[in-house]
């Protein structure tokens, strides 16, 4: 597909997930749809004692001991994913004009662990033992700040927080920085590590988490009739967005294009989605209009697909509003759980890979489709899809919905 003036090139992908690290490894894992949820020692003794963790993640080896100690886990994940995206794009920060490089990351829950540890010291009367790094380690904007420091990105450095839509919102803002001519390159995506006991208890008290302790691997089951909540995850996804003419001038490999984006609010409830999916439907229509595409031109949808009793039917209703006959749908959280602020970015990266490979990865754990869903959900095996355009959608507490349209190169 020839790029239009409004399309933004995706020239690099960085992924650090419970399904592996690096675009190629993560893609291969998703084709096999092997869930990654397992017992989590940090959650021992809680009602929910399992999560989807990034395994074999060694921050001192990847970042050096000094930098690893300075960064909270959500920032560690972001820096590693950003480095991957830059390398994947064939760029060298030593030779770019840093003033033309921006960083926009979505963050929802950060890591929380730092606050828990330091508040514990305060409660114990040990204020003198609180780390002077507590604030710079834990505030959300440091994900973008540390990536900028690490790579010498001197343009805008921003963090977006729209709950679990944050990663998708960051892609939209990063795309706008390119379109406006503010940046030639933007590292856009999301990062979070929401596996702390406090986060787990909080979501469990809301009734949002699966309690399938007898079968953690089967706990994340979007659109399944037996779903009972989502599974906590962690990870980071960073896409290197680039002006199309800039990419062409340097002979870059283009993985795909971010062709359009949209957002829509529910104004319905502080945590529950609009039951008819109205806000998400508006976000999808806006993204399609921005991309200049009709609904029937979308070949597949990467769903938000949390596996909660309220989200899945609301999301399905939104898609049925927009599409006369909804295209095939996949739900990546079935494999890696809910990575919060990183989810939309990881899912968008996987959508780019699906367009490249003309193959939609299956949804895990879908044994019996809920009759209320009414969607064609890809399951059991990858499905070939030739259409050059796809949609990735995200929803968040506060009724915040975001969508991006991605197209093949």
List the catalytic residues. Answer: 164, 304, 338
Question: For residues 189 and 170, what is the distance between their CA atoms, to the nearest angstrom?
Answer: 6
Cα separation, 178 vs 320, whole angstroms: 32
Three-state DSSP state, 349: helix
Query: Residues with Cβ < 8 Å from 368, sequence gap 6 or more?
Result: 224, 225, 226
Pair 235, 346: CB distance under 8 Å: yes
**Cα distance between residue 254 and residue 248, in whole Å:** 9
Question: How far apart are the C-alpha atoms of 13 and 22, rounded to whole Å?
Answer: 8
State the number of CA atoms in the 13 A half-sphere of 86 facing the CB.
25
Scan for tokens 């490249």, then name that residue: 356
Q: Cα(338)–Cα(63) distance, rounded to whole angstroms? A: 25
Could you report how far apart the first and last alpha carbons of the chain are, in Å? 6
**Contact residues for 309 (Cβ-Cβ < 8 A; gap 6+):** 227, 228, 229
User: H-helix or E-strand containing 123?
Assistant: helix 113-123
Q: Distance between CA 222 and CA 230 in Å, rounded?
A: 8
Residue pair 215/121 in contact (Cβ under 8 Å)? The answer is no
- Strands (E) across 45-106 are located at 50-51, 101-106
């Amino acid at each position: 597909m020839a790029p239009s003036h409004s399309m933004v090139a995706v020239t690099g992908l960085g992924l650090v997930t419970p399904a592996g690290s690096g675009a190629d490894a993560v893609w291969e894992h998703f084709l096999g749809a092997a869930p990654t949820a397992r017992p989590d020692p940090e959650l021992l003794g809680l009602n929910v004692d399992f999560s989807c963790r990034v395994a074999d993640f060694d921050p001192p080896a990847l970042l050096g001991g000094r930098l690893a100690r300075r960064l909270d886990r959500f920032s560690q994940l972001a820096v590693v994913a950003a480095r991957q995206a830059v390398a994947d794009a064939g760029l060298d920060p030593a030779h770019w004009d840093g003033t033309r490089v921006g960083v926009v990351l979505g963050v929802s829950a950060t890591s929380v662990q730092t606050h828990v540890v330091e508040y514990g010291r305060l409660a114990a009367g040990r204020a003198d033992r609180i780390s002077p790094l507590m604030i710079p380690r834990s505030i959300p904007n440091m994900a973008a700040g540390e990536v900028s420091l690490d790579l010498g990105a001197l343009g805008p450095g921003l963090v977006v927080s729209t709950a679990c839509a944050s990663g998708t919102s960051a892609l939209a803002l990063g795309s706008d920085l390119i379109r406006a001519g503010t940046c030639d390159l933007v590292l856009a995506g999301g990062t979070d590590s929401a596996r702390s006991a406090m986060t787990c208890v909080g979501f469990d008290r809301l009734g949002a988490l699966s309690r399938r302790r007898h079968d953690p691997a089967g706990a994340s089951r979007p659109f399944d009739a037996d779903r009972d909540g989502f599974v906590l995850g962690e990870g980071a996804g960073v896409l290197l967005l680039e002006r199309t003419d800039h990419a062409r001038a340097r002979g870059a490999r283009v993985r795909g294009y971010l062709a359009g984006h949209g957002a829509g609010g529910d104004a319905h409830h502080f945590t529950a989605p609009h039951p008819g999916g109205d806000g998400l439907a508006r976000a999808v229509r806006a993204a399609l209009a921005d991309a200049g595409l009709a609904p029937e031109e979308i070949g597949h949808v990467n769903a938000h697909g949390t596996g909660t009793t309220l989200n899945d039917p609301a999301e399905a209703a939104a898609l049925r509003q927009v599409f006369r006959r909804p295209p095939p749908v996949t739900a990546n959280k079935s494999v890696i759980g809910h990575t919060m602020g990183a989810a939309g970015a990881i899912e968008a990266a996987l959508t780019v890979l699906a367009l490249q490979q003309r193959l939609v990865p299956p949804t895990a754990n879908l044994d019996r489709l809920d009759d209320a869903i009414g969607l064609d959900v890809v399951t059991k095996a990858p499905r070939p899809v030739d259409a050059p355009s796809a949609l990735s959608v995200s929803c968040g507490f506060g009724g915040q919905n975001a969508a991006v349209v991605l197209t093949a190169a």
